[in-house]
Amino acid sequence: MNRQKRTLHIKHILLSGDMNNNKMERMNGEFRDREKIMRGVKKYNSIMFDGYQMYHNYLRPHMALDGKTPSEACGITIQGDDKWRTLIENASR
């Protein structure tokens, strides 16, 4: 009788504990919520992607970081009342 090896199903990928893709799915969901009501995002070179990345890393507070943005958690702070404007001005220098 010829038996084939059974495929081993791995429920979780373990590197340093249980891991899943919940954070990435959350970000994809947030992006999708914004993207579906906008025009011109279907192009691969849309500035929406860069803008959302800046928003996510520099402006949006994260619960997992105790209300800090990822940039603040790394020691990068943005001064001023209008943080978007400050980011744009600093990027244009």
42 pLDDT exceeds 80?
A: no
Instruction: Decide if 9 is inside a domain.
Output: no
Instruction: Decide if 10 is inside a domain.
Output: no
- The domain of 72 spans 50-93
Q: For position 89, what pLDDT does the model report?
A: 87
* CA–CA separation, 76 and 52 (whole Å): 18
Total domains in the fold of the chain: 1
Which residues neighbour 61 within 8 Å (Cβ) at sequence distance 6 or greater?
Answer: 67, 68, 69
Average pLDDT, integer, range 2-22:
65
User: What residue type is assigned to position 51 of the chain?
Assistant: G
15 pLDDT exceeds 60?
A: no
User: What residue type is assigned to position 29 of the chain?
Assistant: G
Residue 54: pLDDT band with limits 50, 70, 90: confident
Collapsing DSSP to helix, strand or coil, 68 comes out as: strand
**This prediction's pTM:** 0.59
Instruction: Decide if 66 is inside a domain.
Output: yes
Terminal Cα distance for the chain, rounded: 73
